[in-house]
Structures are given as C-alpha cells and as structure tokens.
Structure 1
Amino acid sequence: MTEKTPSTRPGGRRATVRVKTAGKRTESSKRWLERHLNDPYVAEATKRGYRSRAAFKLLQLDEKFRLLAPGKRVVDLGAAPGGWTQIAVEKVQTAKDGWKVVGLDILPMDPVPGATTMQADFLEEGAAEALKEALGGPADLVLSDMAAPTTGHQQTDHLRIMGLAEAAYDFAEEVLAPGGAFVAKLFQGGAERSLLDRLRRDFAVVKHAKPPASRAESSETYVVATGFRGGSANDDMR
C-alpha cells in the first residue's frame, strides 16, 4: 500500500479559545495571544513536533514548486527556531551520502537532528565562508527566511528585508549548482526590481508566492527562482 503524504494544511475543527484581560496584559497582547492560541497552524505544528508554524510555509512552497528531494544540499538562512530546517532534513535525508542541510541564524537555536546549525550574523565577515565549509559542495537550494526587526514604518521595513534578500542572493549566486533554486522572503513594496532583474537573468523561472500558512494580514511574500543557469562561480567547490 502506498504511504499517504501528510497534508500541508491543518485538519479538523477546534474550539475557539478566549483570553481574559488580566494583570498587566494589554488589549493588543490579549489579541495576539488569542490569535496564537486559535491558529490552526500553531496547533498542527505542535502536534507534528515542528518548532514553528512557519514549517508549513516551506511545506506549501515545496508542494507547489518541488524544491526538496532526497539527496539535495540545502542552506537555510534565518533558520531559528528551526522549523524550515526540520522540513528540509525530512525531505532530503537519505541512506546514501551527499545530502546536507545547513542552518544559520543570528539567534541561538537548539540543534536539529541531521542538520548542521550555527549561530552567526550572516552579514558579518566570515559567516558565508563558514557556511560554504559546512556545506561541503555546491547547494541545490538556498532558503532565506531572514527578516530584520520591524520598525512599523512600511517602507523602512521593506528596504531592510530587501537588503537581506539581496545579501542572501549574493551568497546563493556563489554556491548554487546548475539547476538549483533560491527562495527568499520579501515584504510587498516597490524596491524589488534590482533583485528580480538579477534572478530573471540567472534562473529559468521566477515566481512570487504567498503560501496559505502566511497570515492574510501579513505583507510577507516569497520569491521563488528555479533552474539556476550559473555554475562557473562554484566550480572550485566540487
């Protein structure tokens, strides 16, 4: 019998949880807590042992774009607390040698079985070289879920996350194997053109996607580029 693939969406219905305002809890914190407690992706992530609801974003992106497969090498930038790293390991691990998952974040994170994780500021000197060394060869997929702390000013936040996405692609351009893929989180705004121009030059297909697990009120979206045309830059990694 063929094993059924787990759904990338929560199942079943749950009773709504109401939170009372008490002590120093503000109305806004009460709303956040209620949303968190009633979020079906939070409940499903807990049920499946994922470290965050964000794991479902990668599951859904993979479902649509076929990014992950056994034997691949994957880099996860902005990895903490490890939800995407967990999914990557689940999808690429195999009994044969060659697969690899490397996760990096500026925040501490507990080890993920099967992955190499490191704490460092990706923008600091030496971080990219440490990632390359841990990877041990060209990457098939570079993921960036990095996001700077929000300021509340939409344009400022957009520019800051675009800077991280550009830096992530600077790295990806050096390590991706021909045919590889790149995924980066963006905020909707107006400063994506330079990055998109680079991606359209270097990849066969470039798409925007907002997975169902991304909250409707969030301005986040993802750019997904597949079919990397490069390769000469990372010949020395082979």
Structure 2
Amino acid sequence: MELQRRHPDDTSPQDHGVARRRCGRLGRHGHDRLVGDDEPGDGARPVVAAGVGGVRRPIPGDLSSQRINGLRRLYVQALSQELDAPLGGRLLLDKNPSATARLPLWLRVFPELRVLIALRDPRDVVLSCYFQNIPLNAVNVNFLSFDRLAKHYSDLMDIWLAVREWEGFAWMETRYEDTVADLGKEGRRVTEFLGLSWEEEQARFFEKSRARQIFSPTYQDVTRPVYNRSVARWRLYERHLAPVLPVLERYCRRFGYEV
C-alpha cells in the first residue's frame, strides 16, 4: 500500500484533475450535470487516456518517478487531443466509472487527485444496471444477471473501501438519495469540495441539457428536474433480488443504508 501512496518527485504537468469513480448507474447524470456543465458535448464520451487508462496489470514495485511523470504527460496529452484545446488552468473531471478498479494506480500517478465517490443504495445500483439496454463491453457484460452484478459491485466497492482507509489524498462520498432530497444542499457540498463556488443555475442543469445532444442511453433523465421515484425502487423487485441481497448487505451497512 505504501507504494501506491508515494508521491513522484516531479509533479508536472501542473494541471490538477479530479477523479470521480463509482460503480455505474448511481444516478450519475444528476451529479455530472451539476459539476460538469462546462464540458464540451454531453460529457459522457470516454476519453482514451494513453498510459494510465490502459494499464491493467498490477502496479510494478519499481515504478520510477520518470515513468510516473511520463504517464501524467501522456494522460494530459490525450485529454488535450480529445478536447482539441489545451487544458490550461481548468479543473478537469474524469467521470469514467470503470476506472474504479485501477484507482490505486491513478493515485500513484496523480497523488493530488480529489476523489469523489457517488454512492447509491447497492440494491438500487444492481437493479438499475440490470435494466440498462446498452451495447455490451468487457465491463457491462456483468449487467446480464443479478449474480454477476452483485459480484461486480462487490469487487469495485471492496477496492474503494480499502483505498478510503489510506492517508494522503482528498476524498468525499456523496449519496444519490441526499441529492434527490435536497439538490441545493448536496450540490453545494460537492461543488465546494472541488474547490468551486456553487451557482444557483447548477440546480437547473436540465434546461441546458435540453439544448444539447446527449449520447447516454439515459438521455431523458438529464432533461428533466431531479425526481425521487427511483429511491428504494429495489423493494418492488425484492423477490427477484433475494438471492443476492446477502452479498449486498455488507455494503448497505458500510455505506449507511438500512437493512
């Protein structure tokens, strides 16, 4: 664990990023629109970040400062190419949920990251992922059954539960249910964690979303105000979720959800 927490000798480039990692379908677009409103496009297109994003093997014990700084430069270069503009001093939010499994590597390469974890009742996460009709890839193939989803969720959250015990980096958890209950309060808390000032128009994210081309399969949700009908939706399907509820119970307790 100490290897992953060491800082590189040279932290250039100086563009500071914010990594937000979570399992998919955490009511993500409400948060995305709250804090990502200035991004080009809809903010959902994946950025193929050379180096860091492509590393799938365990972190080598001899990862040198030179190698770390090389990965940092490759990442920033890939982002600049995607945006077709230099990053400058802008705050970067990388919102790719599948990178949770490699969060230790991200913190090794970018120790200055602020990690924002968007939580939701684990039972609602599993249910929502299962209902998605999206093209399959290596990650969401786990969405084909409740068993696979529960295993996928537990694998990702075990990593986060271990990483959040580390010292030396800034992190915060934000709950979907809290956002739904009081958008202004939770939105302000998240925005200020990122070092930004809350603007009241952020709560009206859906107005701008209606004028944009949205590529996400949940495009309808970002064009309407926040609603609460998906909170505890899992109870309607409790009979079908019953086989995986014991697996998810641990995470409900760890994240403060009633069991």
State TM-score, norm by structure 2. 0.28
Q: Which has the higher helix share?
A: 2
Using CA pairs below 8 Å that are at least 6 residues apart, which structure has the higher relative contact order? Answer: 2
Instruction: Compare the two structures and name the one with the higher strand fraction.
Output: 1
| TM-score when normalising by structure 1 | 0.30
